[in-house]
A and B are shown apart, each in its own frame.
Chain A
Amino acid sequence: MENPAATPPTSGDLQDAPATATAAPPAARAVKATKVYGQGPTAVVALDEIDLDVEAGRFTAIMGPSGSGKSTLMHCMAGLDYLTSGQVFIGDQDLGALSEDELTLLRRDRVGFVFQAFNLVPTLSAIENITLPLTLAGRKPDQGWLDSVVAATGLADRLDHRPSELSGGQQQRVAVARALVSRPQIIFADEPTGNLDSRSGSEILEFMRRAVQDMGQTIVMVTHDPVAASYADVAIFLADGRIVDRMDQPTAERVLDRIKRFGE
Chain B
Amino acid sequence: MLKVAIRGLLAHKWRLLTTFLAVALGVAFVGGVLVLSDTMNKSFDDLFADVYRDTDAVVRSTETIGSDFGDVRAGVPIELVDVVRAADGVAAADPSIEGYARVVDKDGDPVGNPAMGAPTFGGNWTDIDELNPFDIVDGRPPEAPGEIVIDRGTAKDAGYEVGDRVTVQTQAAAEEFEVVGIAAFGTADSPGGTTYVLWTIDEAQRLVGEPDRVAAVAAVAEDGLSQAELAERIEAALADAGAERVEVLTGEEITEETQTEIKESLGFLTTFLLVFAFIAVFVGTFVIYNSFAIIVAQRTRELALLRAIGARRRQVRRAVVVEALLIGLVGAVVGFLGGLGLATFLGDFFDLPPGSLAVLPTSVATALITGVVVTVASAAVPAWRASRVRPVAAMRDVSVDTAGESRIRLAIGLVGVVVGVTAVVVGAVGGDLPTVGIGVAVVFLGLLFVSPGLARPVSRVLGAPLARLAGATGRLAQVNAGRNPKRTSATAQALMIGVGLVSFVFVINSSIRLSIDRTLEESFTGDFVIDSGTFGVVGLPPQIADEVAELPEVEVVAPVRWSPAFVDFAPGEGDEGDLGDDTGVAGATAGAFELLDLLVVEGDADLGPGEVVVNVDTAEDHGLGLGDEVRVSFLDDRRPEEARVARVAGIYDDTRAAGGIGSVVVSLDDWSAALPNASDIQVFVQLADGVSVAEAEPVIEELVEPYATAEVQSVEEYKETLGSQLDILLNLVIGLLVLAIVIAMLGIANTIAMSILERTRELGLLRAVGMRRRQLRAAIRWEAIIIALYGTVLGLAFGLFGGWGVVRVLRDDGFTEFSVPVATLAVLAVLAAVLGLVSAWLPAWRASRMDVLDAVSTE
Contact = CB atoms under 8 A, between A and B. Distances in A.
- The answer to whether A and B assemble together is yes
Interface of A: 75, 80-81, 100-101, 104-105, 107-109, 111-113, 115, 118-124, 128, 132-133, 135-138, 178
Residue in A113, A124, A132 with the greatest tally of chain B CB atoms within 10 Å? A132
Given A75-B853, A123-B479, A138 B771 contact: no
Contacts of A133: 769-770
Contact of B770 (A105, A115, A123, A128): A105
Given A108-B771, A115-B765, A122-B762, A135 B479 contact: no
Contact of B769 (A101, A107, A123): A107
B342 interface: no
A109 B856 contact: no
Given A81-B853, A136-B775, A104 B765 contact: no
B472 interface: yes
Given A118-B761, A138-B471, A108 B773 contact: no
Interface residues of B, number: 22
B772 A121 contact: no
Given A104-B773, A123-B480, A124-B479, A136 B472 contact: yes
B736 interface: no
B483 interface: yes
B767 A121 contact: no
B773 A100 contact: yes
Given A80-B853, A121-B476, A124-B475, A101 B772 contact: yes
Interface string B759-794: 001100111111111010000000000000000000
A108 B852 CA distance: 13
Contact of B471 (A81, A101, A120, A135): A135
Contacts of B770: 104-105, 107-109, 111, 133, 136-137
A116 B479 CA distance: 24
B472 A135 contact: yes
Residue in B471, B472, B475 with the greatest tally of chain A CB atoms within 10 Å? B472
B483 A115 contact: no
Nearest to A135: B472
Q: Which 7 A-B pairs have the closest CB atoms?
A: A108-B770, A123-B479, A135-B472, A107-B770, A136-B472, A80-B853, A104-B772
Residue in B480, B483, B856 with the greatest tally of chain A CB atoms within 10 Å? B856
Contacts of B768: 80, 107, 113, 115
A128 B768 CA distance: 16
11 contacts: A100-B773, A104-B771, A107-B768, A107-B769, A115-B765, A118-B762, A118-B765, A121-B765, A133-B770, A135-B471, A178-B769
Nearest to A82: B853
Nearest to B762: A121
Nearest to B763: A121
B772 to A, nearest CB: 5
A140 to B, nearest CB: 11
Nearest to B480: A123
Nearest to B473: A136
Given A123-B479, A135-B471, A138-B471, A80 B852 contact: yes
A238 B262 CA distance: 87
A81 B771 CA distance: 16
Contact of A105 (B472, B762, B766, B772): B772
Contacts of B479: 123-124
Contacts of B769: 107-108, 112-113, 132-133, 136, 178
Nearest to B482: A123
A120 B759 CA distance: 12
Contacts of B476: 121, 123-124
Given A107-B770, A136-B775, 16 more contacts: A75-B853, A80-B853, A104-B770, A108-B772, A109-B770, A111-B770, A113-B768, A121-B762, A121-B765, A123-B479, A132-B766, A135-B471, A136-B471, A136-B766, A136-B769, A178-B769
Contacts of A135: 471-472, 475
Nearest to B848: A100
Interface in B838-859: 852-853, 856
